[in-house]
């Protein structure tokens, strides 16, 4: 006798279509799954298995593809021959889609892997090695993280290696995504497990992502069910799915232990009450609307929010089937709280990155940009499409020191965080300063797979700092280097000579002849204008790498870099003497300025800063004695002459 229930309505078919044999069940099975289903059924029959289950795809009458879960029990006669097949189908399309979405999410957010309460493993399909096990797997199998790293899947799966390889191939080619195995725990205990497994790409390679459900208790319950139809209630009680029998008014006639645990209520507390009491107000509206739909639909499903007895919310998915006599609903409840929380966490993470006030860049391990957030695009002027596939050098400038890049890469490739200031350029050529932090991201093997850069625009702060620094190191009147900056550069130049055996340096000390007379006659305002013009001419008479400084009054000192012979300094000094002798116009007055210059060289005249400054000062003193408007190079005889002149001056004054 063949009997088809009204359950087929959910797929758009009528029982009569099958009973009349105008339509067979194989006609609606997806052709890619049909061969597998037949082979599995043949294997079940060949091995005298009277209970089996399968997942496969079917076509609805409207042409849609739906995933179904089939559970079938074969009844046999005294000779062991099957006499009756009794089974049912459940639409599991949403679960399949959710599992697929979870696999895709885990690729990008594998850091959620460890937090999942479900038992999860990552497996290398080539070596069968267990790449990573999450915390739930460690608790279930009894192995710690280090022990798992030395295990293959064959160490926990009691199947032979050849059969395991065949099952892995099915998972890799996605011809099948669920498997029933027997796994051995560390303590030797054997557990029945249902494994949902499929390939994902992680860190550039294909691995198997497996979710393991402990179905040992379920298997035991199913075995008891096969022994007696009376144990069906026991099966309902032991399943991890919540189960309710509801009246047409949605009152609870029966609730299993799983739903009681999920809601926090006892069987007595739930019995006879409306299911609407246990859900949020928004979910009540959904259920009432679906109750109206039940008049024309035999299957209902929705995601609802259950109110736990202690006050917190539990996210569930329910599937209800209208009883054949219309006297209520069989309802299955699945806890989807974990999935919902993950979705919220992922949305929060995405939102935080997207709306961050900091510029965020994610690159691969080679520095190729994979992602930039909107703030980066606002700051730099580049669109996301323009920078994906490029490197951060797109915004770097030539002014960024090579040493900084070297230090940066050395630090992050060692797995450490790098922090520092970078000088960058926008798409339209504007420069800006950033305070940047770069951190490495490691994959499940502990290898660096990506880098995350977070930076803030500090241009305004940096500009203020540089201005303050400039004021501290520059003469306020002429803008030339002051004594502090000159001393710093002189010390650096002497160190280079000492440690790198480079060419020497020259020091030119000069002051303007009879400048005091100009100040006394025309006033300090005119004198200041003349000093500014002198400063301009000195900069024109020297090279970019040289340092022109004003020590005060009309005294200037010039540091000449890379001086290999006396003639190098002589040429610069002569050029200064000639340039400053040219007339200077200030307002309605024209002035002819001369100057006296004293020159010394390092290392021949010494390598101590104070010694060199004293030598240049003695040479300048000699230039003044020689009648001003001339150049004098330091020699050792000037020290004796200076001391003799000082002695003569003392005798005259006494």
Residues 331 and 361 in one domain: no
Task: Give the CA dihedral 27, 28, 32, 38, nearest 10 degrees.
Answer: -60
Other CB atoms within 10 Å distance of the CB of residue 255: 28
Maximum pairwise Cα distance, the chain? 146
203 assigned to some structural domain = yes
122 assigned to some structural domain = yes
Task: Give the CA dihedral 362, 365, 369, 375, nearest 10 degrees.
Answer: 20
Select which of 55, 475, 513, 554 is catalytic.
554
138 assigned to some structural domain = yes
Residues 279 and 241 in one domain: yes
Which CATH number covers residue 503? 3.30.70.270
Residues 251 and 271 in one domain: yes
> Can you state the angle between helices 609-625 and 637-653, rounded to 10 degrees?
60
Is position 554 annotated as part of the catalytic site?
yes
Kindly give the residue spans of alpha helices, DSSP state H, lying in 549-594.
566-580
Residues 487 and 391 in one domain: no
pLDDT at res. 616: 94
Q: Cα–Cα distances in Å, from 277 out to 102, 188, 222, 251, 273?
A: 32, 46, 32, 10, 7
349 assigned to some structural domain = no
What ranges make up the beta strands (E) of 430-565? 431-442, 448-457, 504-512, 547-552, 555-563
Residues 487 and 608 in one domain: yes
Of 91, 118, 143, the residue that ends a domain is 91
Helices (H) and strands (E) in the chain, counts: 23, 25
Residues 228 and 192 in one domain: no
pLDDT beneath 50, residues of the chain = 647-654
Cβ pair 529, 520 in contact under 8 A = no
Q: Which two tokens stand for residue 48?
A: 């005298």
Of 341, 368, 386, the residue that ends a domain is 341
pLDDT at res. 319: 83
Q: Cα–Cα distances in Å, from 581 out to 218, 286, 441, 534, 560?
A: 106, 96, 66, 10, 21
Other CB atoms within 10 Å distance of the CB of residue 501: 7
Q: Which two tokens stand for residue 495?
A: 């160190």
Residues 263 and 295 in one domain: yes
pLDDT at res. 238: 65
C-alpha span between 419 and 412 (Å, rounded): 10
539: phi then psi, degrees, rounded to nearest 5: -65, -40
Number of domains in the chain: 5
Check whether the bond before 15 is cis (ω within 30° of 0). no
Of 434, 463, 492, the residue that ends a domain is 463
Q: How many CA atoms lie within 13 A of 561 on its CB side?
A: 15
Which CATH number covers residue 387? 3.30.450.20
Which domain, by its residues, includes 74? 6-91
pLDDT at res. 358: 82
Residue 647, SS3 per DSSP: helix
DSSP 77-108: -TTS-EEEEEEEEEE-HHHHHHHHHHHHHHHH
DSSP type of residue 182:
E
293 assigned to some structural domain = yes
The residue among 612, 623, 478 whose CA lies nearest residue 548 is: 478
pLDDT at res. 650: 45
Residues 526 and 440 in one domain: no
DSSP 375-437: HHHHHH---HHHHTTS-GGGGB-TTS-HHHHHHHHHHHHTT--EEEEEEEE-TTS-EEEEEEE
Residues 435 and 538 in one domain: no
Strands 595-602 and 631-633: parallel
DSSP 452-482: EEEEEE-HHHHHHHHHHHHHHHB-TTT--B-
Question: Using a CB cutoff of 8 Å and minimum separation of 24, what contacts does 247-256 make?
Answer: 247/327, 247/328, 248/294, 248/326, 248/327, 248/328, 248/329, 249/274, 250/274, 250/275, 250/276, 250/287, 250/291, 250/329, 251/275, 253/328
Q: Which two tokens stand for residue 640?
A: 């004796």
60 assigned to some structural domain = yes
The residue among 370, 451, 387 whose CA lies nearest residue 424 is: 387
188 assigned to some structural domain = yes
Give strand pairing partners of 422: 434
Give strand pairing partners of 279: 306
Strands 252-255 and 313-322: unpaired
C-alpha span between 103 and 110 (Å, rounded): 10
Residues 378 and 399 in one domain: yes
Residues 321 and 208 in one domain: no
C-alpha span between 212 and 196 (Å, rounded): 7
Sign of CA dihedral 141, 145, 146, 149: positive
C-alpha span between 439 and 289 (Å, rounded): 51
Residues 75 and 107 in one domain: no
132 assigned to some structural domain = yes
Sign of CA dihedral 395, 398, 402, 404: negative
């Amino acid at each position: 006798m063949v009997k088809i229930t009204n359950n087929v309505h959910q797929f758009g078919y009528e029982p009569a279509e099958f009973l009349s044999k105008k339509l067979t069940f194989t006609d609606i099975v997806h052709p890619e799954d049909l061969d597998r289903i037949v082979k599995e059924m043949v294997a079940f029959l060949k091995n005298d298995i009277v209970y089996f289950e399968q997942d496969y795809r079917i076509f609805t009458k409207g042409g849609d593809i739906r995933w179904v879960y089939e559970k079938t029990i074969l009844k046999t006669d005294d000779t062991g021959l099957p006499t009756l097949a009794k089974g049912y189908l459940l639409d599991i399309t949403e679960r399949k889609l959710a599992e697929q979405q979870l696999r895709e999410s885990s690729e990008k957010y594998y850091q959620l892997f460890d937090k999942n309460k479900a038992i999860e493993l990552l497996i290398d399909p080539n070596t069968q090695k267990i790449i990573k096990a999450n915390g739930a797997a460690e608790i279930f199998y009894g192995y710690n993280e280090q022990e798992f790293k030395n295990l293959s899947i064959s160490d926990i799966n009691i199947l032979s290696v050849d059969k395991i390889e065949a099952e892995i191939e099915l998972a890799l080619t996605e011809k099948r995504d669920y498997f029933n195995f027997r796994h051995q725990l560390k303590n030797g205990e054997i557990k029945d497990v249902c494994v949902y497994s499929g390939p994902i790409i992680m860190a550039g390679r294909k691995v198997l992502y497996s979710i393991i459900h402990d179905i040992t208790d379920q298997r035991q319950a199913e075995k008891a069910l096969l022994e007696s139809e009376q144990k069906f209630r026991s099966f309902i009680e032991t399943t991890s799915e919540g189960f309710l029998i509801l009246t047409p008014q949605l009152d609870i006639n029966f609730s299993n232990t799983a739903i009681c645990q999920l809601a926090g209520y006892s069987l007595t507390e739930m019995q006879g009450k409306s299911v609407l009491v246990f859900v949020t107000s928004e979910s009540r509206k959904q259920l009432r609307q679906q109750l109206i739909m039940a008049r024309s639909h035999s299957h209902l499903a929705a995601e609802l929010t259950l109110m736990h007895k202690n006050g917190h919310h539990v996210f569930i998915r329910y599937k209800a089937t209208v009883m054949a006599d219309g006297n209520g609903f069989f309802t299955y409840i699945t806890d989807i709280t974990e999935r919902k929380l993950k979705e919220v966490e992922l949305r929060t993470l995405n939102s935080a990155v997207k709306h961050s006030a900091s510029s965020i860049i994610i690159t691969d391990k080679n520095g190729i940009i994979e992602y930039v957030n909107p703030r980066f695009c606002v700051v730099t002027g580049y669109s996301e499409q323009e920078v994906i596939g490029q490197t951060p050098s797109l915004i770097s400038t030539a002014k960024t020191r090579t040493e900084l890049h070297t230090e940066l890469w050395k630090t992050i490739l060692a797995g450490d965080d790098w922090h520092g200031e970078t000088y960058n350029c926008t798409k339209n050529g504007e420069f800006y300063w950033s305070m940047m932090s770069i951190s490495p991201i490691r994959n499940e093997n502990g290898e660096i797979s990506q880098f995350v850069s977070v930076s803030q625009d500090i241009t305004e702060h940096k500009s203020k700092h540089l201005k303050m620094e400039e004021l501290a190191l520059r003469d306020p009147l002429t803008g030339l280097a002051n004594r502090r900056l000159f001393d710093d550069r002189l010390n650096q130049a002497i160190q280079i000579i000492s440690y790198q055996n480079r060419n020497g340096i020259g020091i030119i000390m000069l002051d303007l002849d009879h400048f005091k007379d100009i100040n006394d006659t025309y006033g300090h305002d005119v004198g200041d204008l003349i000093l500014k013009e002198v400063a301009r001419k000195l900069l024109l008479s020297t090279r970019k790498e040289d340092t022109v400084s004003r020590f005060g009054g009309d005294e200037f000192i010039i540091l000449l870099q890379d001086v290999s012979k006396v003639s190098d300094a002589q040429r610069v000094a002569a050029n200064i003497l000639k340039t400053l002798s040219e007339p200077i116009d200030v307002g309605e007055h024209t002035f002819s300025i001369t100057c006296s210059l004293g020159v010394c060289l390092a290392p021949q005249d010494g390598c101590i800063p104070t010694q060199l400054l004293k030598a240049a000062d003695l040479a300048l003193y000699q230039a003044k004695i020689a009648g001003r408007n001339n150049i004098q190079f330091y020699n050792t005889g000037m020290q004796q002459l200076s001391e003799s002149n000082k002695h003569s001056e003392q005798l005259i004054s006494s």
